[in-house]
Structure 1
């Protein structure tokens, strides 16, 4: 298959938008696979290119909502006894995330506020991402968009397409360890978390790959194959 560039992927994302309705594109994959990086490159390509009305897409017609804003706060994870596996499916408010996605499709409010996630604090921040009515395409990314157990089963029906990010396993782990170190863990703790909690979550996410509409392999700008 001929490799797809980021411009090709942006064109596919742009084509999801239809008159009179907002489109929501999901990007999923294991921890460290490059979901946020792909989302950022897509946002740049979409904002720098023409929008569907033929104007310059430099406004706020495209927006980004990470799933990570729906992490349960540490104080609640402590109460539930789940903090030692933060990032597992039951450490998120999956029903709240699905409800937000459904609300985005209803498109009734002038501004919809979504929670963000502060990496320095490792905590969700309520109401920190404004989504204006002008946002016709919303890109959301996270680990469990294709997971179909419990409240997570409500998520996929709210997404127009879901793309799965896949990276060489050694490189994925290297980046994941580096990210944990960047946000405060020492090397030994970063490796232990990446090979423990993160790897168990990665195995769950890998089991959802076959449900994706597209699998994007390698770095951004690399090969994309049909899922």
Structure 2
């Protein structure tokens, strides 16, 4: 895995990192924190920045990041289920596998817990590319569907000690998503068509799940 540029650290990331460190110091075992949000909301960037900030300030807590994208079904499985044109929707993931990993993370352990990562060049999950060390006290999980009020996603929500939802307006997310697809070689018209069909539906479904969050975060503000 190639070395990546550290994510930018916002005031929100610093504040969340400080909160999670304080809560970890006041509790025993490993705390699992979810950061949810719609596609294009910036949840992946925020989660990575929070983990990087904790690692810099309190390395002994060994914070770990678990991206939900690693739990995508394989492209072959998506095609078998005729879901390839809906990739990113709740049914294109394996929430049972994510819940099982979180069970392992919560349990006392002497070995790392292997975690899949999503390879954006292969467009496939790569099993065991990431790991949660046994000394980890804070695990940050990020993804669209962490608070989805539907089985089997409820199993994931039950395993989160804290769920945060990053609330960013659809207009902002839409522009980010279009530019992201254009940057990977898609024609702008095709990028807009995908975003307005697949991503828009996912955005509003994820947004509806914010009611299951412990705290809703908005740029420059947040509400409990």
Q: When the two structures are superposed, what TM-score results if normalisation uses the length of structure 1?
A: 0.88
1:208 partner SS: helix
Task: Indicate the residue corresponding to 1:223 in structure 2.
Answer: 221
Deviations 1:70-98 (A, max 9, x none): 00011111111111111111111111111
Q: In structure 1, which of residues 18, 21, 31 is the aligned counterpart of residue 39 of structure 2?
A: 31
- For the residue of structure 1 that corresponds to 2:29, the secondary structure is coil
Q: Where does residue 194 of structure 2 map in the other structure? A: 193
Say whether the 8 Å CA contact 1:113–1:128 is kept in structure 2: yes
Task: Name the structure where helix makes up a greater proportion of residues.
Answer: 2
Q: Tell me how large the CA RMSD over aligned residues is.
A: 1.5
Confirm or deny that 1:82 pairs with 2:83: yes
Q: Which string of whole-angstrom CA distances, capped at 9 and with x for unpartnered residues, describes residues 202-227 of structure 1?
A: 11111111111111112xxx21221x
- The residue that corresponds to 1:143 in the other structure is 144
CA–CA separation in structure 1 for the residues paired with 2:59 and 2:110: 22
5+ long unaligned stretches in structure 1: 50-56
Instruction: Measure the CA separation in 2 of the matches of 1:190 and 1:153.
Output: 32
Question: Does 1:166 find its partner at 2:183?
Answer: no
Give the Cα separation in 2 of the matches to 1:101 and 1:44.
Answer: 20
The alignment status of 1:202 with 2:203, answered yes or no, reads yes
- Residue 18 of structure 2 corresponds to 11
2: CA distance between counterparts of 1:21 and 1:32? Answer: 32
Task: Supply the distance in 1 between the matched residues of 2:74 and 2:147 (Cα, whole angstroms).
Answer: 23
